[in-house]
Amino acid sequence: MIVAERKPIQEILSMISGLRKILILGCKGCVTVCSAGSEREVMILATIIRMGRKKKDEPIELVERTLVRQCDPEFIDQLSDSIGQFDAVLSMACGVGVNFLADRYPKTIALPAVNTKFYGVAEEQGVWSERCAGCGDCILNLTGGLCPVARCSKGLFNGPCGGSVNGKCEINPDINCVWQLIYDRLKGLNQLDKLDEILPVKDWGVSSHGGPRKIVREDLKI
Amino acid sequence: MGQQMTQPETRVIKGVNKIMEFQPKIEAMICTYCTYTAADMAGSQRLQYPPTVRIVKYPCTGRVSILHILKAFEAGADAVFVGGCEIGSCHFVEGNLRATERVAYAKKLLAETGLGGDRLEMFYIGASDPHKFVEAVTQMTERVKRMGPNPLK
């Protein structure tokens, strides 16, 4: 899932300074799973904003709503009737949702309430960590299913750097060295020979270095 | 030289001063198994504590949500305290531990909003410990009197 984290309250308050009527828009997709922008987080943020503004003696009118997703037209278009009445929409979805709001409603101010962090997993309740960098050309078949693009601090492709110590990364000792993990895993799978293959220079053109990406499936188009 | 006040006048002034004195409103979100029983016992033992507390009984402090806490402050509570079982004796094993984490998170939110995290506190009060309940109410009352009323009022 896409993992996000709510922005600091003061940053949000300064973002909406002077605005009087705002729609706080949650998303029932990834940000609900990672507890950043669910219906419940919308209620919490709305309460905090109301309190913050009342304290400054600048009351604000807030409407709380949560869409199934903010990244599909059938859901984002549900706002078309009511969006004109708001000074701005404060989206608790990932950056995709904010962008899509801005795309679909050119006359509405679209603001982000969360920082979109990474594609990751819930390691345990309340702990998320990165697993995929969306590089556009997956090589997990060569690395035992563990990604050196997302999980090696230096993004190395052919084994660890000299800073791997006792299975930990030199950038941060809390991070496991993914090349150590790859080695251990391939050894367990009896596939160490895979590491004999030298990975060629990666084509970053299919990653974000090649500009915004797009997929078209003619068979699915209506 | 000012005119000396009569005795009834002095009494009226004292009464007005007493009314004007800030009496905090504190919401206590407490567990039915422990802190509520302690509060009940404080009553039967005629223990004295400030008349500042409004009790909301929970089946377990594990049910206390961050939203409940925030809504209490939004509605004008000067302080909130959560009273759970002593560590290790929660009837639902870890409800009080969850409440502890949520109180810590809500404290941060209150601090960020500018209300002050100290308006919220977690206490662990066993069923047989009415004095601890009295102490919690007294401590929160004194603390809030120092901090002043909820700025949202």
Q: Which residue has the tokens 């293959």?
A: A197
ipTM of model? 0.84
Nearest CA in chain B to A39: B67
Strands (E) located in chain A: 2-6, 21-27, 61-67, 88-91, 109-112, 114-124, 127-132
Instruction: Indicate the helix (H) or strand (E) that contains B103.
Output: helix B95-113
Q: Estimate to the nearest angstrom the gap between the alpha carbon of A32 and the chain centroid.
A: 12
The more confidently predicted of residues A193 and B6 is A193
CB within 8 Å of B79: residues ≥ 6 apart: B24, B26, B27, B119, B120, B121, B140, B143, B144
Q: Find out whether B30 and B53 touch, Cβ atoms under 8 Å.
A: no
CATH number at residue B62: 3.40.50.960
**Is residue B10 assigned to a domain?**
no
Contact across the interface for B115 and A51, Cβ inside 8 Å? yes
pLDDT at residue B10, rounded to an integer: 78
| Domain-located, residue B98 | yes
* Mean pLDDT score across all residues of chain A: 96
If pLDDT is split at 50, 70 and 90, which confidence band does B3 have? low
Interchain proximity A48–B73, CB inside 8 Å: no
Task: Tell me the pLDDT band of B15, cut-offs 50, 70 and 90.
Answer: low
pLDDT at B17: 66
Give B10 to chain A, closest Cα distance, Å: 37
Domain span holding position B133: 24-146
Task: Please tell me the distance from the alpha carbon of residue A97 to that of residue A82, in angstroms, as a whole number.
Answer: 17
pLDDT (tens digit, 9 = 90+) per residue, B54-76?
999 999 999 999 999 999 999 99
Cα–Cα distance measured from residue A139 to residue A146, given in angstroms and rounded to the nearest whole number: 9
**A109-134: average pLDDT:** 97
Distance from CA of B74 to the nearest CA of A (A): 6
Q: Using CB atoms within 10 A of its CB, is residue A149 exposed (0-12), middle (13-18) or buried (19+)?
A: buried
Give the residue from B113, B115, B147, B152 with the most A CB atoms within 10 Å of its CB, the best one to mutate: B113
- Label residue A85 exposed, middle or buried (CB < 10 Å: 0-12, 13-18, 19+): exposed
Query: With contacts defined as CB-CB under 8 Å, which chain A residues touch B67?
Result: 40, 43-44, 47
* Domain architecture of chain A: domains with CATH: 2-118 (3.40.50.2300), 135-209 (no CATH)
* Contacts with A, B 123-152, CB within 8 Å: 151-152
Q: What is the pLDDT of residue B19?
A: 60
Q: Confirm whether B2 is domain-assigned.
A: no
Residue A93 and residue A37 in contact, taking contact as beta carbons nearer than 8 Å: yes
* Cα–Cα dist B66/A202, whole Å: 47
Q: A87 is written with which tokens?
A: 């000074």
Query: Among partner residues B66, B67, B74, which is closest to A51 by beta-carbon distance?
Result: B74
Say yes or no: B49 contacts chain A, CB-CB below 8 A: no
Using a CB-CB distance cutoff of 8 angstroms, which residues of chain B are in contact with residue A50?
A: 74
Please, what is the angle between helix B35-44 and helix B130-147, to 10°? 100
CA angle A74, A20, A4 (to 5 degrees): 50
Residue B115 lies in a domain: yes
Number of domains in chain B: 1
